[in-house]
């Protein structure tokens, strides 16, 4: 569930996985703390450049907008839950400067059903899947019937 995906001990996502109505309050409190700490010229976020800080503030504003009026993440529609988790992940990625572990979630229809489901993957996983798809597409295998009942010779094109 998305609530669990947002849970972390990191300030950007603190309290997102706790129970009850504290979830939204915890997320908003953590974002206020982070914003306050970033405003100091010294401290643990002093290393962030002004562009990163501006992006973080932009995502924080979006999180606050999405959570307005909600007492729990489950009060939000699934697409808004996904957007909150993605914004929190963006914040975390900007703070930790770790793009490979940046997780993104999206809603999609699985083959054979009309039901929407939420899918999440890290950037490294998405890159690996894209590379595997490119490799498969560029070097397809071919199976040719051999004439023997049910037998086929499978190999690469050009072999």
Most confident of 18-22, 70-74, 120-124, 138-142: 70-74
- Please indicate, yes or no, if residue 153 is contained in any of the structural domains: no
Q: What is the pLDDT of residues 68-111, one digit of tens each?
A: 999 888 999 999 999 999 999 999 989 888 777 778 888 888 88
Q: Tell whether pTM > 0.85.
A: no
Q: Which residue has the tokens 């999206």?
A: 106
Q: How many domains does the chain have?
A: 1
- Please indicate, yes or no, if residue 158 is contained in any of the structural domains: no
Q: Which of 137, 48, 151 is nearest to 92 (CA)?
A: 48
pLDDT score, position 6: 37
- Please indicate, yes or no, if residue 14 is contained in any of the structural domains: yes
pLDDT score, position 144: 67
- Please indicate, yes or no, if residue 150 is contained in any of the structural domains: no
* CA distance readout (Å), 82 to 110, 112, 114, 128, 152: 17, 23, 19, 22, 46
Range of the domain at 90: 2-104
- Tell how far CA 106 is from the center of its chain: 8
From the number of C-beta atoms within 10 Å of its C-beta (0-12, 13-18, 19+), residue 91 rates as buried
pLDDT score, position 3: 31
pLDDT at 1 over 50: no
């Amino acid at each position: 569930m998305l609530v669990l995906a947002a849970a972390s001990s990191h300030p950007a996502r603190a309290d997102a996985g706790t129970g009850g109505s504290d979830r939204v309050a915890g997320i908003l409190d953590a974002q206020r703390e982070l914003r306050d700490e970033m405003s100091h010229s010294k401290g643990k976020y002093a290393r962030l450049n002004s562009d990163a800080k501006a992006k973080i503030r932009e995502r924080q504003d979006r999180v606050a907008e999405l959570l307005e009026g909600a007492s729990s993440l489950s009060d939000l529609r699934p697409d808004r839950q996904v957007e909150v988790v993605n914004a929190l992940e963006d914040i975390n990625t900007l703070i930790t400067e770790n793009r490979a572990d940046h997780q993104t979630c999206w809603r999609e229809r699985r083959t054979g059903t009309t039901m929407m489901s939420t899918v999440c993957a890290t950037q490294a996983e998405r890159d690996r899947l894209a590379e595997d798809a490119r490799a498969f597409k560029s070097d397809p295998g071919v199976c040719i019937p051999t004439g023997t009942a049910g037998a086929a010779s499978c190999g690469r094109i050009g072999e």
